[in-house]
Amino acid sequence: MPLSVTWVDLAIRIVCTLIAGIVIGYNRGEHGKAAGLRTTVLVCLAAAVAMLQVNYLLTLSGRSSDSFVMNDLMRLPLGILTGVGFIGGGAILRRGDIVVGVTTAATLWFVTVVGLCFGGGQLLLGWTATLVGCGVLWGLKWIESLMIVSRNARLTLTVDQDGPDETDIRRRTSDREVDIVEINLAIKDDVRTYTLNVRDIRRPNDTSLPHLVEEFARQRGVKEVHWRHLG
């Protein structure tokens, strides 16, 4: 970090910060995240401005050249990183048993570091980090769509006297796309309600109902079928 910053240096760092924030923020914006384009750009810009302020304070009138050591100016960018943690925490939401927003929170923390790099004059490091970050957000998203993942889900069956019992349910689910983790039974009058906690094994972008659910819905004695992913 140079001890003196010219207006040209200032402009270059701010422009680089804006471009990096827009590129990374566009990914969050196009996915409809709460912390989208504007939030990402502002966070990245705030980090860069903090580092620029540190750079300007390095040379203080009437002090020795090593006065910035006594002033401990690096507390300012460190405080920025801590503050972004609160913003990232607000981006993480829990909807029932599903937690969303973790990637957005990580992105905000990442662009903060990128902004610190540009604000401190490490342009090559900042652009390298931006390119790697874009590769992670766009490239790994495509790879994730090809992965076979295991997700927790819940299948609820309400059956009458003619419906399947636990033995029949386990037999039907064997060698299928779901694995039973736990079965709970509730009985009221002549109606039985089976709650199955299962692992659903499929690709992340596959939102169709498992064939097993459709088979249960057509089976004699089954009054209601509910299927829900838990995350």
pLDDT-flagged residues of the chain (< 70)? 1-3, 34, 59-73, 91-100, 175-176, 204, 231
Contact 26, 135 (CB under 8 A): no
* Length of the chain measured in residues: 231
Say whether 175 sits in a helix, a strand or coil. coil
Pairing of strands 191-202, 98-100: unpaired
- Domains of the chain listed by start with CATH number: 7-146 (no CATH), 149-229 (3.30.70.260)
**What are the distances in angstroms from CA 226 to CA 158, 217, 222, 229?**
9, 9, 11, 10
Calculate the average pLDDT of the chain: 81
**What is the per-residue pLDDT for 19?**
94
The span from the CA of 77 to the CA of 66, in Å, is: 19
**What is the per-residue pLDDT for 114?**
94
**What is the per-residue pLDDT for 45?**
93
**What is the per-residue pLDDT for 65?**
57
- pLDDT tens-digit profile of 189-218? 888 899 988 888 777 677 777 788 888 888
Residue 158 tokens read as 């309400």
**What is the per-residue pLDDT for 60?**
61
